[in-house]
Structure 1
Amino acid sequence: MSPELQPPTGRRGFLKGAATALAVPAAATLVGVGALAEPARADDGGLPDYAPIPAASVGPTPNEDGYHVGQIAGNLYWVTDSYYQAMFLTTTRGVVLVDAPPTIGHNLLRAIDDITRANGRPSKVTHLVYSHSHADHIGAAGLFGTDVVRVAHAATAGLLARAADPNRPLPTVTFHDKYQLKVGGETLRLAYHGPNHSPDNIFIHAPEYATLMLVDVLYPGWVPFKNLAVSQDIPAWIKAQSIAMDYPWQTFVGGHLGRLGVRADGALQIRYMDDLDASTRSAIASVDPTPFFAKYGTQGNSWAIFKTFLDAVADTAAAPVAAKYTGVLAAADVFTRDNAWTLLESLRIDAGVLGPFGVHP
């Protein structure tokens, strides 16, 4: 293998190469999405082919070190590696950082240094806000030493105490409903509106800069991650999207992928979820469970009956939604079926939409 074709070595090299690849829309052929069967198989090791990423979904290209740092407004900045995002405020006393994703890792320090050297403000991170407890968003928090004020929801403290992860030090300041963080002439307003993606996920509002950060709820330009972001409370996660839109923001930081959001992105995801909800309810009512009972009932295999029936409902629900949003939202053909399956389960368990398994006259 020639040197220029050698794969990158080490975590940093791997992420640099992967981030660069993600920042460029794939020049692929659109595959059929109507049936939502298994994606077409490519020649490269049997990996599936997916639809190209819409150009509008792509963020800025990372630099040679694998990150992009940009100004949101005034003293508010963001960092991305095309997979994760963090946000920070430079102040007269130091830097307030929101989240510390491990995929960005030491590049957070490099990005902060880039900005503070340019604007002449202190580069030390004095405050670190945790959006929630999940390691993929705060797993690099240990890089910033012990003399940092770490702010989080009270539930985050309990979850981190249970995890006992040295890379996610316990918060030093906690709150229950609202907390106003003022540092060096800058302000962040933190609020808890109940569980959504996780039991402790908070809203981080920078009112002076018309910016809201809410992680794992809205995905600007993309469909939500697999199984509705693996969220622990699906009805509350759906409600959180509307709560976010009630805030007076113009710029949105979602914690994932390579670009910032605008209000049209939030409205588009809500339409996607409305369409998925309507399609899933229709599929629950229309898919006939008889063939699944006929095949597996004689074997006494109850789990096989439910698996095949629920999978058929998810396939039926996802097909028209994936077809509608492919080319509009990135990865509509990748995760819509998984999202339909999770929404189906929430409708059955949380909303009582049981279809043929409900009480009937």
Structure 2
Amino acid sequence: MQLIRMFSVLFLAIGGLACGQPHVHYEHKVVLRDSVNKIAPGPSDPQIQFAPLPSAVHSVAVDPTLGYFVGNLGGGVYWVTDGSYSNMFMVSTHGVIVVDAPPTIGHKMLYAIGNTTRLPVTHLVYSHLHADHIGAASLFNASHPIIIAHAETHDRLAMLSPLDPLRPLPNVTFQNNYTVSVGNQTLELSYHGPNHTPGNLFMYASAQRVAVLVDVVFPGWAPFTELGVADFVPSLIAAHDVLLTFDFDVLVAGHVGQLGTKHDVLQQRKYLEDLRDSCAVAIKGIMMDEIEPTVAANPGNAWATAKPVFRVASQICADNTTSRWLGVLGAVDVFAFENAYRMVNALLIEYNVPGPFSVV
């Protein structure tokens, strides 16, 4: 009881975000700790071999000489990928609209556009603030494009702009909705709250039935580490339902070398819900003898008291979830522990599923 009280006090000290939120109940199958694949939680052996990629992974072939692939989505819309990152541009009668400028693609983006049209880039849209998606934006400075982003993206970049000229500040911002119209092309931008990060935009080319949402869905693959470094997990999961309200055939997702469909959105939502439910069961099922050795070895060290709870719950959740998704999504085992760890944190402080940190 004293140990549980210690956890409760610690949770109240570091988990104030959960105060006042309704308790969320999850039903899930019983965890079988000895019948699942074990996922290494720590630094990996450089020679470790992960599970083979399933058939859901069907990345386009990137010409090694060019280092990029350009796909024609019809109606003047093109997507560009280097196999790891992807973005989009639209060719209109009066100029080019570009969405994002990943530095891994870098100058290749200029080549891709230049080999498609002689028209200048007149508009550049930032999906969100992260440098891995807009860190090459300065390459378009020569054409002086209008840079468009959510107001939250502008405000955060403004704190960094003296240090990062590679991401010029947007000169057009908005709060809820904005329509980019250039010549005969239209791109609708909308904001539905934080998910991957505050300011992350939903983008939609209705005439071509193409949607763009970056760092939320990873078509054919499990999410990147820590659920794609998610800012707010409940809204990350809800973003899937928002995306499905758009009438699209093709999704440009910002990562991996393949396009997405509504099936990919539904599949990943199912994976995230399974991960959430599995982690909730793991949190509630932690046994004191699993964490007592660490507590006993570190008297008075509150951080050392909390760490085994996060570690044990994340490991159990990772093991069980991975056993169900291997062969369904690509690389589900690679960041299994990190994704479970982010979900455990979300359950504790965002969903208010406290487990051993319950009110006394």
Q: 1:171 to 1:238 in 2, by over 3 A?
A: same
CA contact (8 A) 2:295 2:304 kept: yes
Alignment of 1:25-64 (within 5 A): 34-37=37-40, 46-63=46-63, 64=65
Q: How far apart, in 2, do the equivalents of 1:276 and 1:233 lie?
A: 15
**CA distance in structure 2 between the partners assigned to 1:192 and 1:265 by the alignment:** 21
More helix by share: 1
Q: Which whole-Å CA distance do the structure 2 matches of 1:312 and 1:322 have between them?
A: 15
Where does residue 19 of structure 1 map in the other structure? none
Aligned to 2:153: 156
Secondary structure in structure 2 of the residue aligned to 1:78: strand
1:134 and 2:135 correspond:
no
Partner of 1:340: 340
- 1:104, 1:112 → 2: CA distance? 12
1:359 maps to 2:351: no
Structure 1 residue 225 and structure 2 residue 224: aligned? yes
3-state SS of paired residue (1:190): strand
Separation of aligned partners in 2, 1:243 and 1:292: 40
Equivalent residue, structure 2, for 1:204: 203
SS in 2 for 1:255: coil
The equivalent residue for 1:144 is: 140
Distance 1:39 1:312, change over 3 A: closer
Structure 2 residue 74 is the aligned partner of structure 1 residue 77? no
Instruction: State TM-score, norm by structure 2.
Output: 0.85
In structure 1, the residue matched to 2:191 is 192
1:196-226 Cα shifts (integer Å, max 9, x gaps): 1111101110011111100011110011110
Question: Which amino acid letter does the alignment assign opposite residue 313 of structure 1?
Answer: A
CA deviation map 1:141-162 (0-9, x unaligned): 1011152111111111111111
Q: In structure 2, how many angstroms separate the alpha carbons of the residues matched to 1:196 and 1:186? A: 28
**C-alpha displacement at 1:351, in angstroms?**
1.6
Distance 2:43 2:51 in 1: 10
Identity across the alignment (%): 41
Q: Which amino acid aligns with 1:167?
A: L
Q: CA deviation at 1:189?
A: 0.3
Cα deviation for residue 277 of structure 1 reads: 1.1
Whether the 8 Å contact between 1:40 and 1:48 is mirrored in structure 2 is no
Post-superposition Cα deviations, 1:52-76, rounded to whole Å, max 9, x if no partner, equal 1124313111122110001112211
TM norm structure 1 = 0.85
SS in 1 for 2:242: helix
Which moved further from structure 2: 137-146 or 102-111? Answer: 137-146
The one-letter code of the counterpart of 1:193 is: H
Instruction: Report the counterpart of residue 326 of structure 2 in structure 1.
Output: 326
305-314 or 79-88: bigger deviation = 305-314
Structure 1 runs (4+) greater than 4 angstroms displaced: 38-42
**Unmatched segments (≥5 aa) in structure 2:** 1-34
One-letter identity of the residue aligned with 2:310: L
Paired residues of 2:294 and 2:308 also in contact (CA < 8 A): no
Q: Do 2:294 and 2:304's aligned partners in 1 also have CA atoms closer than 8 Å?
A: no
CA distance, structure 1, for counterparts of residue 317 and residue 256 of structure 2: 26
Amino acid at match of 1:73: G
- Does residue 167 of structure 2 align to residue 171 of structure 1? no
2:306 partner amino acid: F
- Residue 209 of structure 2 aligns with an amino acid whose one-letter code is A
Q: Secondary structure at the match of 1:180?
A: strand
Separation of aligned partners in 1, 2:292 and 2:303: 11
Which amino acid is 2:119 matched to? S
Gaps of 5+ in 1: 1-31, 117-121
Q: Deviations over 1:76-125 (max 9, x none)?
A: 10000011111000011111100000000000011112222xxxxx4311
Number of matched pairs: 321
Query: Is 273-282 or 283-292 further displaced after alignment?
Result: 283-292
CA distance in structure 2 between the partners assigned to 1:320 and 1:298 by the alignment: 29
What RMSD over aligned residues (CA atoms) do the two structures have, in Å? Answer: 1.8
Q: For residue 191 of structure 2, what is the amino acid of its counterpart?
A: Y
Aligned to 1:29: none
- Tell whether the 8 Å contact from 2:129 to 2:156 is kept in structure 1 after alignment: yes
Q: Does the aligned pair in 1 maintain the 2:298–2:305 contact within 8 Å?
A: no
* Cα separation, 2, equivalents of 1:299 and 1:251: 53
